[in-house]
Chains A and B, each alone.
Chain A
């Protein structure tokens, strides 16, 4: 008797129950590590002789943010077996969305006394809602166009192509005539005989205008919302609004990208996500309110102006690690839920999975959107990391670093990702500060080795990645037994 795929059956037949407690030994270990680390960061030197200064406090924060990002990427790349190369793009969406919400609308300057509170969660909320509504409406329009094209295909096989050409020709004409005029005669609406049908511009204007009333952070509605929240809760609720806003925006973009590409073969997703993340970066670089290439200062309250080492951490630390733990929890629970089993099933063999009735595209899109949402959360936290960000921080290199973490940690293994994330994030600052911690009795050339390794860190990553795939394709840090969820079987 032949079975469809020997790898899929055990996944399907195993009852979906909670994993045994000891199987998740790493959760208490992680929590213990956090507890051990916490007093160090709270300021001062609780452990004798160790000066845990601002530098290392910042690195600890970075570890937390990277944990969120890497584990959410693990959901897409490892558990669902897709290959996203644009995680930095979702992170950028979250960071700029969250950062902008806080800066432009969440932190209104006090005018007279306490009449207008400094923290303005209502304004931030309205801004987030406005942006999400605009995105949703334009998404609906795009979806409508898509459906129209599909419908045309049913009416006539050449329909979609003809429609596309018409649309393209009209757009090209529109843009050319509108912006530069013909042959250097001079642009502007005056010389544009077709200005009346500038539908694209009209649509954008209409959508924009209909939601501008939401954008006023000192409007009565915003004030009402803000005043209904107790003063002590205004700061955290502004942060929550910006986090959720960033996450949702990233999730929407993930949905828009994922829906068409996840129907196709996996490698298209890699290119499409890479492309979209570059597109997002280009958009930010060209956007005046987001500070173009020079960068954007977030009026952050996680790092206060006169903060000593302590206040930096005490406010920011729980947020960063709270989100990281939440992410780990979500991904872990998804992995062991029926949906997660379906995901791992289609990772092993898509055709066999669809044969047993799993909605392949639906599950992939679900994993992708959740991953994007969590990446957006991580990004919103990253906005407060420096209080400053620029598009260069979200380039391909960051995506690749995350991919390296996920891959070295083992595709499909959350604990492995956590360890890899810790090690790799610590690697750079450790190598950078080698002159401080290297004992005097060590020979001098050890320092040259560390500085060399620091300089060519990315070359080493690349080698590790290739060697991992050639020698130990389930990741260096994947300690699972072979019986569990192997990556074999897909061709």
Chain B
């Protein structure tokens, strides 16, 4: 096999695994946009929280159960919140109060779950791959709860207000997660404990090698995408989701619980973003609180490239973007510095030439 072909294939594999991660995030953007017509700026930061959670769970530092004292306080809080939630519901308290308590309750439950998973990993004799699996699940649960809480507290009250208000709120939530993350985790990047492998390659022949991590990323993404496809196309909830994104008001008239579907959309997107966070931390083993910004923007570009609101389009756009970036980095001198610029150049070009994206249909705004 000639050298240049080897180079090209290797670059394509790199682009594919990066693109797979973009796809996981882009799907969340595109689903939320399809349902609410809102760019969820905080989505990139949910991905950051996923990577951070995986770091703290994977290194067994998720200090919720650091001492029996902490543990009992947390459990008491959780029980108290549960009682308060049902009590307020029974007493028909204002909806705002109930929702705040519900959000807190879900947050506490997620923290407890993360702590348990972190504790689980201190058991000896756990293989690195099992560790990755546990960290992945913990990150998914915590990010799913986070997505639910964000929708409940920040976006739901604004659903009837002008779009610019929701947009500003989304930026506020994103800032809160970014700089709040900086306050909690510290601004220094942490190196993610990559699994130590005797042989990092899954496959190596004829000058082409596929790393185990790359294979894991592509495999996990593929599995998750198939699951997503199944959920969206073959379940009742998925059908409701499609109905809501097709016509919001009419779906409500057909008896669909809009609030539930929107929450579901956010949870689904956040779970996928969490998976992306864990996977990128395996690929580039460094996590920091600001990592979500650029990644979120690129994933959004991928979603626009494919046609925003279209799930298959988001995946296609993400893979195209990943491959383009890999090609630019490999084949252009000093290309690695322009890596982040590629996405934005693509964005401007696509907005100029085909604003509805590669797979998006033409939409007509009705009065």
Contacts and interface: CB of A to CB of B under 8 A. Distances in A.
Nearest to A78: B164
A264 B293 CA distance: 24
Contacts of B301: 271, 275
Contacts of A400: 171, 175
A130 interface: no
A198 B162 CA distance: 49
B337 A276 contact: no
A85 interface: yes
A465 B164 contact: no
B316 to A, nearest CB: 15
A261 B297 CA distance: 16
Interface in B338-355: 338, 340-341, 343-345, 347-348, 351-355
Contacts of A469: 158, 161, 165-166, 168-169, 172
A382 B69 CA distance: 53
B251 interface: no
Interface string A239-270: 00000000000000000010011011011101
Among B167, B175, B334, find the residue whose CB has the most chain A CB atoms closer than 10 A.
B175
Contact of A407 (B163, B166, B168, B331): B168
Contact of A488 (B162, B180, B354): B162
A163 to B, nearest CB: 10
A411 B327 CA distance: 43
Interface residues of A, number: 59
A470 interface: yes
Contact of A282 (B154, B338, B355, B367): B338
Contact of B39 (A172, A271, A403, A487): A271
Interface in A55-85: 77, 81, 83, 85
Contacts of B355: 260, 263-264, 268
A25 interface: no
Given A459-B179, A463-B176, A179 B333 contact: yes
* Interface class of chain B by DSSP: helix
Nearest to A279: B344
Interface residues of B, number: 57
Contact of A489 (B2, B3, B162): B162
Interface string B309-347: 000000000000000000100011110011011011101
A466 interface: yes
Contacts of B293: 396
Nearest to B154: A466
Interface stretch (A90-98, A180-188, A204-212, A433-441): A180-188
13 contacts: A260-B352, A267-B167, A272-B351, A275-B344, A279-B348, A285-B337, A455-B183, A458-B179, A462-B175, A463-B176, A465-B171, A487-B165, A491-B163
Interface of A: 77, 81, 83, 85, 146, 149, 160, 164, 172, 175-176, 179-180, 182-184, 257, 260-261, 263-264, 266-268, 270-272, 274-276, 278-279, 282-283, 285-286, 351, 396, 400, 403, 407, 411, 455-456, 458-459, 461-463, 465-466, 469-470, 473, 487-491
Given A271-B301, A462-B180, 6 more contacts: A85-B171, A271-B39, A278-B340, A278-B341, A282-B340, A470-B169
